[in-house]
Amino acid sequence: MSPAADGPGRKSLADVVFDRMHRAIKSGAYKPDERLPTEHELSAEFEVSRPIVREALRRLREQGLIYSRQGAGSFVRSIGLKQPLGFGQLENVSDLLNCYEFRLTLEPEGAALAAERHRPATLAAVEAALELLRDATNRQSHREDADFEFHLAIAVAAENGYFSTALEALKDHIAVGMRFHGISIKRDSTGLARVFGEHAAIFEAIRARDSAQARDLMRVHLAGSRERLFERRRPIEGELVAE
C-alpha cells in the first residue's frame, strides 16, 4: 500500500485501513466475537505502520464494531452487524410520527457533532450523497436511497457509533417517510429544489464546522419534512397499511 498524504478529497492510510476493516466486519468476513489479527499481523497485511493500524482500530471501537480484552486483543462486536436494534415493523401513521419525533431528537445533535468532528473522508461521504441528490433534483426526481445515505453519512461523521447504529436500524422506517415525502414535494414545482437547498445548507454548515447552525438547519429540515408530509398529504393511513 503506497503512502498517501491527507488532503482535500484524499484518504489517509488510517482511513483506508478503517474502511477496509469496516467493510470486512459488515460483510461477515469476521464473525461476532471473533478475535482480529494482531496489530503486527494487520500492519503486515495492509503494509502500513502499527500506529496507523492502532488508529483504525480506535475508530472501529468508537463505531461500536469491535471491543478489546486486556492482554487478549480486539474482537468483533455482534452489535455492529445487521439489525443491531430491535425496532418493530412500522405499521401506521402514529409509528411514522414517532419515528420523526425520535429523529428530531437524534439527528440535529448528530449534525452538530459532525460539524465539530468530521474528517476529510467522512465529509467526502456526505458530499458524495449530496451530489447524488443534486443530480436527481436536476432530473426532477427524488432518490430515497441518496437521501438516506446523506443522513447516515452525517451520523457517521459524528464519530459516535450510537448515532449511525440507530439510524441504520431505522432505515426501513425512515424509507417509508422519505418515499411519501418525495411524492409530496414533487407535487410542488419548486419542492425538489427547495428541499435540495435544505440539504446543501446543512452540508455547508458542517463543512464550515458551525455546529449550532448545523443543528438548527437539521432540525428545521426534519420538522419541515414532517409538516410537508402530514399537512399536505392527508390521509396516508390506508397507504401505509397497504405497504
pLDDT confidence band for 6 (50 / 70 / 90): very low
Domain range enclosing 47: 13-80
Measure the CA–CA gap between 78 and 226, rounded to whole angstroms: 33
Q: CB–CB of 121/161 below 8 Å?
A: no
How many CA atoms, within 13 angstroms, populate the side-chain half-sphere of residue 169?
Answer: 18
pLDDT tens for residues 98-115?
899 999 999 999 999 999
**Residue 191: all three cell numbers together:** 419542492
Does residue 2 form part of some domain?
no
Q: CB–CB of 123/242 below 8 Å?
A: no
pLDDT tens for residues 183-228?
766 666 687 899 999 999 999 999 999 999 999 999 999 999 888 8
pTM of the full structure:
0.63
Mean pLDDT, residues 132-147 taken together: 87
Together in a domain, 230 and 120: yes
Q: Any residues with CB less than 8 A from the CB of 177 and at least 6 apart, and which?
A: 96, 99, 100, 225, 229
**Residue 18: all three cell numbers together:** 478503517
Together in a domain, 97 and 214: yes
Measure the CA–CA gap between 160 and 176, rounded to whole angstroms: 25
Q: How many domains does the chain have?
A: 2
Q: Say whether 27 sits in a helix, a strand or coil.
A: helix
Together in a domain, 180 and 130: yes
Mean pLDDT, residues 50-56 taken together: 93
Which CATH number goes with the domain that contains 18?
Answer: 1.10.10.10
**Greatest mean pLDDT range, 57-61, 62-66, 184-188:** 57-61
